[in-house]
Amino acid sequence: MTIEATAKEIRALLELAELDQSADQPASQVRRQDREAAARPVSRRLLDRYQSLLEVGRRPVVVAIERGGCSGCHLRLPTMVEQMARRAPAVHTCPHCRRMLYAPELVIADAHADDGKPPRRSAPASAARRS
């Protein structure tokens, strides 16, 4: 399953997930306000999906695609899912653990576009081999 999302929505989901990771602490008024503020830019459909995963105890709810796999369950993703995730900012579902997946390079690149700063680029692999 794929849910269209902007990089801003994905960053908001990540912030929300970070707040929910500390759910063992008692819910203070400030924490509730922070959570509501983080959830505000997220579409209803994404928020409903997030909430349902949170309720069944799937933590972390939102995870990055790392080295062709889900960083939640650490299983390799089907090539089609990985390719679709890397084309445009969206939230995909891991077929193994059902967590929400995103391609971090798209979210980071969009964040730098918002700042006006160019994204950091690493040295090409060929240059690294020469040293």
Output the domain CATH number for residue 46.
Answer: 1.10.287.1490
Q: Is residue 124 part of a domain?
A: no
**Average pLDDT for 18-45:** 78
Q: Is residue 131 part of a domain?
A: no
Q: How many CA atoms lie within 13 Å of 129's alpha carbon, on the beta-carbon side?
A: 3
**Segment 72-100, tens digit of pLDDT:** 999 999 999 999 988 888 899 999 999 99
14's tokens: 């990540």
Which structural domain range is residue 107 located in?
Answer: 2-118
- The listed range with the strongest mean pLDDT (26-35, 66-75, 115-124) is 66-75
What's the domain count of the chain?
A: 1
Q: Is residue 10 part of a domain?
A: yes
Q: Is residue 130 part of a domain?
A: no
By DSSP bridging, strand 90-93 and strand 2-4 are antiparallel
Quick one: pLDDT at residue 118? 43
pTM: 0.74
**β-strand partners of 90:** 4
Q: Is residue 28 part of a domain?
A: yes
**Average pLDDT for 18-41:** 75
Measuring CA to CA, how many Å separate 73 from each of 20, 62, 90? 19, 12, 19
Q: How many other CB atoms are there within 10 angstroms of residue 28's CB atom?
A: 9
Q: Is residue 23 part of a domain?
A: yes
Among residues of the chain, what percentage have pLDDT more than 90? Answer: 40
